[in-house]
Amino acid sequence: MEYLLQQLINGLTLGAIYGLIAIGYTMVYGIIGMINFAHGDIYMVGAFQAMIALMIVGTLGISWVPLQLAIMLIVALVLTAAYGWTVERIAYRPLRGSTRLAPLISAIGMSIVLQNYVQLLQGPRPKPVAPVIRGGFALTGSDSGFVVQLGYLQIMIILLTVALMTVFAYIIAKTSLGRAQRACEQDRKMASLLGVNVDLTISQTFIIGAALAAVAGMMVTLYYGVNDFFMGFVAGIKAFTAAVLGGIGSLPGAMLGGILIGLIEAIWSAYFSAEYKDVAAFGVLVLVLIFRPTGLLGRPEVEKV
Amino acid sequence: MNAALQQMTEPAMPLLTVEHLTMRFGGLVAIDDASFVAQHREITGVIGPNGAGKTTLFNCITGFYKPTVGRLTLAAADRPPMLLEQMEGFKIGQQASVARTFQNVRLFTGMSVLENLMVAQHNKLMRASGYTFLGLLGLPSFNRAERVARDLAVHWLDRIGLTHLADEPAGSLPYGDQRRLEIARAMCTEPVLLCLDEPAAGLNPRESAELNTLLRSIRDELGIGILLIEHDMSVVMGTCDHIVVLDYGRKIADGSPSEIRSDPAVIRAYLGEEEE
């Protein structure tokens, strides 16, 4: 029982990270109907930005942890958002209005470019990061044999995710940017006639998606303490799976899918085998797609005849 | 601004001047050297048999198509005339203040009725909120802009009688209400020229009579110009101050409703030539 509780905590933490990345996929899919395969690498760039920020903060002699974290967060957020904007600007916008496949190929190309770029600048070896936040609560006493740990870092990850999701949901539901995004999702031509600058709205979508991925990258840097240039690939595919599982295009779906994937992975690795955790995650995706092709929270697309 | 002052500041030019407009698609000439004007505070009807080029004309005015030849000048009060054929699509809505509706209803069906009207006011809200990111800080100027926008939206909901449905998804409204909501949404962009493409299509006689009242009140109270494509002659004759008739892309007549009614070229286009 204690063991399961521990796995739930771990899975939830991991799921929060997947969920944040998945939002980027689902938002971009919603607004331009394209899978941004470079999004996983944007997350990787975010992780590296956070790592570099942490090192610079360390050499500057700032040792107060909240300040360290705040600087990491802001640097990763702003720089990664700039990367997200740039990718959209140079790789997707010129292809708007061409076939659906063209930006997809361009996205895969961008993904390779970003990986090689980071490999070139940072070297191919995994980079270790010293832990910043240690310790946590013991939820059960040691007399029961197994101590359930809830790390401070895990608490921070979950709280930060909840806070970001709240802000994000507010932006989408209540602000004029969110309204414009939803309008562009439904009918780009009409939105443009009402004076909505569609290109700008799409840029802002990429910026928000990249910023959320950057936060995910920073949290992974702190959580696992190792970054390498290839880390975006698997995480990206997982987050994409989460987005599809929840119903691509649906924002609550992306979060739900992320948490489910995180939980499945954690529980599978605990009770079966850690090597096959990816198989479990993708297996669930296959099952969901067979029985509910639009995902858990996705609305079926009604085609008018 | 009161009416007298507005009259004074109105430029001498007509609101919309179309000069030698030609639109070709390969070998097909959809509009062939059409010239006409639409005056300030008038409803200008554009009629003609199917395929006459009416919707193509709207597509040229609202930037969907770049005309092959010709000039479209929009001269609103208090600003220099603008050449619409040279502007990017979204700027025609944003800067030139031209609004339009389509033959088929194109509401944002998944958004609420009120949100549809708020999207139409996107630009001023974005400016007021510092492109949203500053607006998140909850500055009072942002909240004020949001409130003003909401007031305008509610004002239009009142006018079209849909206030009680403000939070319903726009797609769930009956067809006639959706039509009126589209006009209200276009009006929320605060246009100087409103282009309506068959607004009475599919309306029953009572609803088209309501539409007539709405269009006349928009013209009389707000003093904007309306360009109206319509097949329903009760709407055209009941509202238009001036009518332009197109046939096979060419302008065949131009005048007041009573002139158009008795114009032999128009009768020929609609009813065919009498055999000798």
Same domain, B195 and B184: no
The domain boundary, picked from B165, B190, B215, lies at: B190
Same domain, B89 and B126: no
How many interchain CB pairs under 8 A, A with B? Answer: 88
pLDDT of residue B93: 72
Q: Which residue of B has its CA nearest to A168?
A: B136
Q: Which residue of B has its CA nearest to A176?
A: B122
* ipTM of this complex: 0.78
Greater confidence (B76 vs A25) lies with: A25
Test B106 with A167 for CB contact under 8 angstroms.
no
Q: Which residues of A195-214 are buried (b: 16+ CB within 10 A; e: fewer)?
A: bbbbbebbbbbbbbbbbbbb
- Contact (CB, 8 A) for A210 and A85: yes
Does residue B148 lie within any of the structural domains? yes
What's the sign of the alpha-carbon dihedral A112, A114, A120, A122?
A: negative
Q: Note whether A194 contacts B: Cβ–Cβ < 8 A.
A: yes
Same domain, B86 and B148: no
Please give the Cα distance from A41 to A234 (Å, whole number). Answer: 10
Same domain, B146 and B230: no
Please give the Cα distance from B103 to B197 (Å, whole number). Answer: 5
pLDDT > 70 fraction of chain B, expressed in percent and rounded: 88
Range of B88's domain? 1-97+191-199+225-276
Same domain, B110 and B185: yes
The domain boundary, picked from B142, B163, B190, lies at: B190
pLDDT of residue B31: 86
**Partner residue facing B108 (CB), from A186, A192, A198:** A186
Same domain, B154 and B272: no
Please give the Cα distance from A6 to A24 (Å, whole number). Answer: 29
Q: Which residue of A has its CA nearest to B171?
A: A186
- Contact (CB, 8 A) for A280 and A264: yes
Does residue B35 lie within any of the structural domains? yes
Q: Note whether A98 contacts B: Cβ–Cβ < 8 A.
A: no
Does residue B219 lie within any of the structural domains? no
Q: Note whether A93 contacts B: Cβ–Cβ < 8 A.
A: no
> How many CA within 13 A on the CB side of residue B157?
21
Q: Which of B103, B119, B148 to mutate to probe the A interface, most A CBs <10 Å?
A: B119
Which domains are delineated in chain A? 2-291 (1.10.3470)
pLDDT band at B96 (very low <50, low <70, confident <90, very high): confident
> Which candidate, A273, A261, A255, places its Cα nearest to that of A23?
A255
> How many CA within 13 A on the CB side of residue B73?
16
The pTM score is: 0.84
Nearest C-alpha of chain A: how many angstroms from B259? 34
Test A177 with B110 for CB contact under 8 angstroms.
no
Please give the Cα distance from A26 to A241 (Å, whole number). Answer: 10
How many of the other CB atoms lie within 10 Å of CB of B58?
22
Residues of chain B contacting A182 with CB distance shorter than 8 Å? 108, 110-111, 115
CA angle A56-A60-A65, nearest 5°? 80
Q: Note whether A190 contacts B: Cβ–Cβ < 8 A.
A: yes
Same domain, B53 and B24: yes
First-residue to last-residue Cα distance in chain A: 54
pLDDT band at B2 (very low <50, low <70, confident <90, very high): very low
State the CATH number of the domain containing residue B152.
Answer: 3.40.50.300
Could you read off the pLDDT of B137-162 as tens digits, one per residue?
A: 656 667 777 888 888 889 889 888 88
Same domain, B120 and B173: yes
**Partner residue facing A193 (CB), from B93, B109, B123:** B93
Does residue B242 lie within any of the structural domains? yes
pLDDT of residue A48: 94
Residues of chain B contacting A198 with CB distance shorter than 8 Å? 90
Same domain, B112 and B230: no
Nearest C-alpha of chain A: how many angstroms from B122? 6
Residues of chain A contacting B185 with CB distance shorter than 8 Å? 194
pLDDT band at B129 (very low <50, low <70, confident <90, very high): low
> Which candidate, A248, A156, A245, A251, places its Cα nearest to that of A208?
A251
pLDDT of residue A85: 94
* pLDDT tens, per residue, chain A with 305 residues: 778 888 899 899 999 999 999 998 998 888 888 889 999 999 999 999 999 999 998 888 888 888 888 999 999 999 999 999 999 999 999 998 888 889 999 999 999 999 999 999 988 888 888 888 777 777 776 666 677 788 888 999 999 999 998 888 888 888 888 888 889 988 888 888 888 888 889 999 999 999 999 999 999 999 988 889 989 898 999 999 999 998 888 888 899 999 999 999 998 988 888 888 888 888 988 888 888 888 888 776 655 44
Decide if pLDDT at B3 tops 80.
no
Same domain, B70 and B153: no
Q: Note whether A141 contacts B: Cβ–Cβ < 8 A.
A: no
Test B93 with A192 for CB contact under 8 angstroms.
yes
Does residue B109 lie within any of the structural domains? yes
Write the single-letter amino acid at A140: T
Does residue B182 lie within any of the structural domains? yes
- Contact (CB, 8 A) for B239 and B249: no
pLDDT of residue B76: 79
Composition of chain B by helix, strand, coil, percent to 5: 45, 20, 35
Could you read off the pLDDT of B211-261 as tens digits, one per residue?
A: 888 888 888 888 888 988 988 888 888 888 888 888 888 888 888 888 888
pLDDT band at B26 (very low <50, low <70, confident <90, very high): confident
Residues of chain B contacting A178 with CB distance shorter than 8 Å? 132
Residues of chain B contacting A183 with CB distance shorter than 8 Å? 108, 111, 119, 122
Q: Which residue of B has its CA nearest to A199?
A: B90
Q: Note whether A175 contacts B: Cβ–Cβ < 8 A.
A: yes
Query: Which helix (H) or strand (E) segment is A265 a member of?
Result: helix A251-271
Does residue B218 lie within any of the structural domains? no
Test A193 with B100 for CB contact under 8 angstroms.
yes
Interface of B with A (CB under 8 A): 62, 64, 89-90, 92-94, 99-100, 102, 106, 108-111, 115, 118-123, 125-126, 129, 131-132, 135-136, 146, 149, 185-186, 189
Partner B, chain A 153-172, Cβ-Cβ below 8 Å: 167, 170-171
Decide if pLDDT at B8 tops 70.
no
Residues of chain B contacting A181 with CB distance shorter than 8 Å? none
Q: SS3 letters for chain A?
A: CHHHHHHHHHHHHHHHHHHHHHHHHHHHHHHHCCCCCCHHHHHHHHHHHHHHHHHHHHHCCCCCHHHHHHHHHHHHHHHHHHHHHHHHHHHHHHHCCCCCHHHHHHHHHHHHHHHHHHHHHHCCCCEECCCCCCCEEECCCHHHCCCCEEEHHHHHHHHHHHHHHHHHHHHHHHCHHHHHHHHHHHCHHHHHHCCCCHHHHHHHHHHHHHHHHHHHHHHHHHHHCEECCCHHHHHHHHHHHHHHHHCCCCHHHHHHHHHHHHHHHHHHHHHCCHHHHHHHHHHHHHHHHHHCCCCCCCCCCCCCC
Write the single-letter amino acid at A129: V
Q: Which residue of A has its CA nearest to B186?
A: A194
How many of the other CB atoms lie within 10 Å of CB of A267?
17
Same domain, B235 and B146: no
Nearest C-alpha of chain A: how many angstroms from B126? 7
**Partner residue facing B119 (CB), from A171, A191, A198:** A191
Same domain, B15 and B48: yes
Decide if pLDDT at B276 tops 60.
no
Which residue's structure tokens are 């942002």? Answer: B142
- Contact (CB, 8 A) for B120 and A180: no
Structural domain total, chain B: 2
Does residue B69 lie within any of the structural domains? yes
Q: What is the mean pLDDT of chain B?
A: 82
First-residue to last-residue Cα distance in chain B: 58
pLDDT of residue B1: 42
Q: Which residue of B has its CA nearest to A182?
A: B111
> Which candidate, B149, B147, B64, B130, places its Cα nearest to that of B100?
B64
Q: Note whether A186 contacts B: Cβ–Cβ < 8 A.
A: yes
The domain boundary, picked from B190, B213, B234, lies at: B190
Bridge partners (DSSP) listed for residue B253: B245
